[in-house]
Amino acid sequence: MRLPAWERSHAVGASPTPETLEYRMRRRIGMLAAATAGIVAVLAAPAPAQALGHDDPLKRKATFYVEPDGNAARQAEIWAAEGRDDDAAHMRALSKVSQAVWFTGGTPAEVRAAVRRTMVGAARQHAVPVLVAYYVPGRDCSQYSAGGAANEAAYRAWIDAFARGIGGAPAVVIVEPDGLALLSSEPWCNEGGGGTTGTPEDPARVDERFREINYAVDTLQRLPRTGVYVDSGHSDWQPLDDYDAGYGEPRAQLGMASRLLKGGIAKADGFALNVSNYRATDELVAYGTRLSKCLRFRQTTGAAGCSDADLATVPDDPRKLTHFVLDTSRNGQGPWTPPAGQYSDPQVWCNPPGRGLGYRPSTRTGDPLVDAFLWIKRPGESDGQCTRGTAGPEDPEYGAVDPAAGAWWAEYALGLSQRAVPPLR
């Protein structure tokens, strides 16, 4: 080991005076004691809810990336040419609001290149892009948004490439919408056995899903400037605690807290609520706060659930609670209340009529647990071809067949803009 200069000078030749040795010894002992005390204090301090290990892209007033040539911008040009000036103005206003960029397929090389293009565009704007990773095997229980990787190994390769596309630039990633809230164990899900398939449920599929989400969180969390938020359904879906579904097999289902804990929430920046849904912001904040407190209670006590009394014991300390983001893209009017008794399955989540845009994307949320309002679902893109329990194929609310999931629906986008709360224009 190479000694400091003053130690080298005294290692040979005349010995230093006793006073000098004593001073230096005391100084070094004092420094060691102070350092030891600091380490002890750090070890004794309560651990924060999330150990980020990277820069937080939302810690300051973030500017979010806006795609320069999206569906709304193109629609504005079409309607302007047709003389629909007011409608075109709505689309121009919509085109200027940041929306998440979804990645739903492709080979590893293709997704890496696509993510990289988005990152380059965001860098030109000095902005933070919001990216959605949506490729988990068995996606959406093979419903309207069916698809995903062929198997776990293919998914890992895809996520690795997704992360390489981001690199060291700032980004926010929403990990797998419905990936935890919608497991193959749901009694009505026909993915992986169970449900109405006539074959037993395969519990290994649920374990696989948890491994996949954990792998995505671990991989993305290693990036130096990426915020990772795990999708967690919404406030009118999964309860906090494990529950009995009351029908089907298996009847026993995991609550949202268990799903997040098994899905690696402790390693993420937080969770995301209301992706592609319409629940009201106040309701979401209340649910998200309860979910965050339930996670904290279970992490610190080892309990299997959390009652209202348990939640009341958890301090309102944002440094120790898991944070979350909200999708406010289409919740300005709140959820739809369908006509009583009209539909056997009203599908309130699927292109409901009369909805409006919600709060614009911002890190100024007014709540210390809510890191950002984001437009994760892209307003104007269809939720799917809804039939509301009828024989279809028409959606009875519109008298026509809805566009396929993810397809642009200009008139629906216009309605969202016209009924925006707060107003878009």
Active site residues: 140, 178, 383
Q: How many CA atoms lie less than 13 Å away from 378 in the CB half-sphere?
A: 24
Determine the 3-state secondary structure of 371 from DSSP. Answer: strand
**SS3 call for 298:** helix
H/E stretch holding 406: none
Burial of 126-135, coded b for 16+ CB within 10 Å and e otherwise, reads ebbbbbbbbb
User: How far is Cα 272 from Cα 29, in angstroms, rounded to an integer?
Assistant: 49
Which candidate, 201, 205, 180, places its Cα nearest to that of 250?
201
Question: What distance lies between CA 346 and its chain's CA centroid?
Answer: 27
Exposure on the CB side of residue 99, measured as CA atoms within 13 A: 23
Q: What is the dihedral of CA 207, 212, 215, 221, to 10 degrees?
A: -120
* DSSP letter assigned to residue 58: T
Degrees to nearest 5, angle at CA 170 with 168 and 175: 100
Q: Is the dihedral of CA 316, 298, 324, 282 positive or negative?
A: negative
Enter the tokens of residue 292: 């965050």
Cα–Cα nearest to 229, from 376, 121, 334, 380: 376
Closest CA to 421 of 322, 328, 340: 328
